[in-house]
Structure 1
């Protein structure tokens, strides 16, 4: 069976004469157009079977489109100006919403990513001290050293799962820098088991075909996830206790949580500390590992020879016979362009969610309270209106030459700001954005200096889980 789609007559919209983006403006108060779906399950199956294709195809209904799935109503926003409107200009009208809070319930944590209002502001002000430019600079050597440690264990001709390798790398770098500790292999394995179990469980519950089954049916993925979560909660308790016993003072994240104070003088509770650590253990390494994986895989394509050559020339010119440092970052423009392009094509979080506090409207379409507004990052990042050859890997689109003929990162003035937003936007943009981009550039440059990677896995099938999971990505190591 296939879904039925609304016709032009069903859409009840008129062209907005003031629009320069092709948006349509509805008669005030009408619901957005969208697929009618199937009886009983609406669009649940279509989304569950291929979420990314669904997000691309729904743009045929316009920049604001409605569908029903998983027993709730969604409105997909596929225009950069409207994304900016929701996240910046009208930020106070929206919150993260019940759909994302269901994911918080799945994690059984409440931290910075899920907090609202004054509680969120207090947490953000405390934690941002771990992400100042000076702090990020202090983390750089750890990021490079962990990349070198990983690569030195690879043999020429060895086939590695680059997805697992990047996860190992970014977890080690995270705990050394943000937590100021060596996690150790046994503890790191506990974190990775937790992330894998979470991915399997969230895939089943939120994006897989299980989403159409009764919730009371037993789930092996849920049992395994609950066991892994209990294990990680115990680990976090141990980490906090160890830091408090050390009487250490510092601006690393673990010290700030264990010994710091909120702006009003209160201190984080034991539960708040545990929640924040769990979230940063997850988000602080998983999304960067995902971006590095896609960057390595894209660079190894047969038609990416020119990109690889340009990247290698840059790294050789900037670093010579040494590994990169924080001071090199401003000169690693091609490296940054590769990272940006990888996140454009495969954003670690392919969509964001918001929900209106009360009834509101977007370009005339009525949005009811309880509606999940999906900001279609994946669809916007691949929209031909903003990106020529939108599905192609073209890092050069991010580059220009300065007055001295050197490559610099430059975003065209005619592209809307929110045509690219892998770190979110507005007041709730990712607190770790500088951390992630620093690690992405330094680790990628270090890898390029030391090894070449060849594809063994020729095709990937990205799936939204904890992040946009590419699945196993096997690559063969060639020593440079």
Structure 2
């Protein structure tokens, strides 16, 4: 049980600035929030369950503050304020020291962590692999890898859909973005690395590091370092192979191995390694997570499942989907979007102001980490009817709540932002949504999935991990 740091939660931070001093909120006061425990503040509460902790911050208002990990945090739970931070005032914020420390701990840089001119030139080079024409060219590979996975399953077999989806999206990524077919050994090396990263991240949040001197690595850290060295060696092999082939492709691997920045310079060996590591991670892990939740949610709703099956049968008949079918697979897209609403792979984003500023009338210090509370905003009853329910129809033109972001409803734009927003929105957004939609349609056409795992308890590791999700396969 925590007590408020301040009674400011009873004040209205949106009161007009022209009001008198007696009715004006405590402008430029720190936001309200829990006091936490002596010495450790709220570190234990956040580490134990980040989603529950951030959700609980809404009781203090749309802007709430707390202390943990020897630093100050401000939680933002209002879509309009999210838009300010990510879009209209994005020049006032950067990714921040907290995320930088995370990147340093993982020993990865790349476009996700870069800032300023360095970020802009990396983004400019990389976005050539994600143009609409390139995304279209990846579609057949995405479908082919989904079919390959489904053909490996037997009727009646129980599969861990989380592991299966991860294998699928990694194969699809390497085949499309790298123009390579990963054999099982290479796939296993990347998967071991991702699992080791999750364990390492989890151990750090749970405070294992606090119990050890900084110069003694934890077991999770040692295992992660070994796995990182192994996958870094793999990336070096891929780059060397591509350069020896004299390939002149426009896939991501070729762009990095042989491409140039706008100023004519080439990416360094370290930059190439970091970018490929990041895309090996983010390019498959987040999509695998979203696909897992979509499959599990579908299996729990017969009405939605029947509607999706009818759409797939009507649009595709007896063939697998192609890129040209995407505009007709509206229910399929809605299922994917609703899974991302309920279980966004990255459930909160973080920024830090370059210098002291204000947000909704509250003072935000230059060293404060601003957490954009995506998970809670996506489930806020102010913006979503029956917010905890799986209701893909809310994304359709004929949906019950009439609030569809896609069809001009009144809901604020940043009531839904699974891919971030502003200049730093996810570069792979179109890639991920295309793969999610095509893989779902392919799976629905070929198999039924029944729940064996009856409940899930997500935890935040590398992404919003559901843990093992067992489902029984019924071939069509």
* Interval containing the TM-score (normalised by the shorter chain): over 0.9
Q: Is residue 161–residue 472 contact of structure 1 (8 Å, CA) maintained in 2? A: yes
Distance 1:261 1:25 in 2: 54
The corresponding residue for 1:438 is: 434
For normalisation by structure 2, the TM-score amounts to 0.95
Q: What is the aligned counterpart of 1:336 among 333, 338, 344?
A: 333
The corresponding residue for 1:314 is: 311
Alignment of 1:286-325 (within 5 A): 286-301=285-300, 304-325=301-322
Alignment of 1:125-136 (within 5 A): 125-136=124-135
Distance 1:56 1:280 in 2: 30
Distance 1:260 1:297 in 2: 41
Instruction: Confirm or deny that 1:3 pairs with 2:5.
Output: no
Distance 2:406 2:326 in 1: 15
Q: Is residue 15–residue 25 contact of structure 2 (8 Å, CA) maintained in 1? A: no
**Counterpart of 2:133 in 1: which secondary structure?**
helix
Q: 1:16-49: per-residue Cα shift (whole Å, max 9, x none)?
A: 3569xxxx98422200000111111111111111
Instruction: Confirm or deny that 1:248 pairs with 2:247.
Output: yes
Q: Is residue 348–residue 373 contact of structure 2 (8 Å, CA) maintained in 1? A: yes
Instruction: Confirm or deny that 1:213 pairs with 2:211.
Output: yes
Distance 2:156 2:207 in 1: 39
How many residue pairs match? The answer is: 466
The corresponding residue for 1:96 is: 95
- What is the deviation of 1:106? 2.0
Q: 1:174-206: per-residue Cα shift (whole Å, max 9, x none)?
A: 00000001111101100000000000001111x
Q: RMSD across aligned C-alpha pairs, in angstroms?
A: 1.7
Q: What is the aligned counterpart of 2:361 among 354, 359, 364?
A: 364
Q: Is residue 110–residue 271 contact of structure 2 (8 Å, CA) maintained in 1? A: yes
The corresponding residue for 1:347 is: 344
Alignment of 1:28-67 (within 5 A): 28-67=27-66
Distance 1:362 1:383 in 2: 20
Instruction: Confirm or deny that 1:13 pairs with 2:11.
Output: yes
Instruction: Confirm or deny that 1:476 pairs with 2:472.
Output: yes
Change in Cα spacing, 1:250 to 1:218, as seen in structure 2 (3 Å) is closer
Which 5+ residue runs of structure 2 have no aligned equivalent? 18-22
- What is the deviation of 1:109? 1.8
Distance 1:397 1:210 in 2: 43
- What is the deviation of 1:154? 0.5
The corresponding residue for 1:405 is: none
- What is the deviation of 1:300? 1.0
For normalisation by structure 1, the TM-score amounts to 0.94
Q: Is residue 87–residue 422 contact of structure 2 (8 Å, CA) maintained in 1? A: yes
**Counterpart of 1:400 in 2: which secondary structure?**
coil
Q: Is residue 41–residue 212 contact of structure 1 (8 Å, CA) maintained in 2? A: no
- What is the deviation of 1:100? 0.8
36-45 or 165-174, which deviates more:
36-45
The corresponding residue for 1:179 is: 178
Alignment of 1:356-435 (within 5 A): 356-401=353-398, 410-435=406-431
- What is the deviation of 1:411? 4.0
Instruction: Confirm or deny that 1:447 pairs with 2:438.
Output: no
Q: Is residue 112–residue 124 contact of structure 1 (8 Å, CA) maintained in 2? A: yes
Q: Is residue 333–residue 409 contact of structure 1 (8 Å, CA) maintained in 2? A: no
Distance 2:134 2:217 in 1: 46
Change in Cα spacing, 1:474 to 1:295, as seen in structure 2 (3 Å) is same
Distance 1:104 1:390 in 2: 33
The corresponding residue for 1:285 is: 284
Q: Is residue 44–residue 212 contact of structure 1 (8 Å, CA) maintained in 2? A: no
Which 5+ residue runs of structure 1 have no aligned equivalent? 403-407
Q: 1:62-106: per-residue Cα shift (whole Å, max 9, x none)?
A: 111001111111000000000000011111110000111112112
Change in Cα spacing, 1:335 to 1:265, as seen in structure 2 (3 Å) is same
- What is the deviation of 1:10? 4.5
Distance 1:380 1:208 in 2: 25
Q: What is the aligned counterpart of 1:463 among 459, 465, 469?
A: 459
Q: Is residue 209–residue 218 contact of structure 2 (8 Å, CA) maintained in 1? A: no
**Counterpart of 1:104 in 2: which secondary structure?**
helix
Distance 1:218 1:256 in 2: 36
Distance 1:58 1:135 in 2: 42
Distance 1:193 1:251 in 2: 29
Q: Is residue 208–residue 218 contact of structure 2 (8 Å, CA) maintained in 1? A: no
**Counterpart of 2:397 in 1: which secondary structure?**
strand
Change in Cα spacing, 1:390 to 1:213, as seen in structure 2 (3 Å) is farther
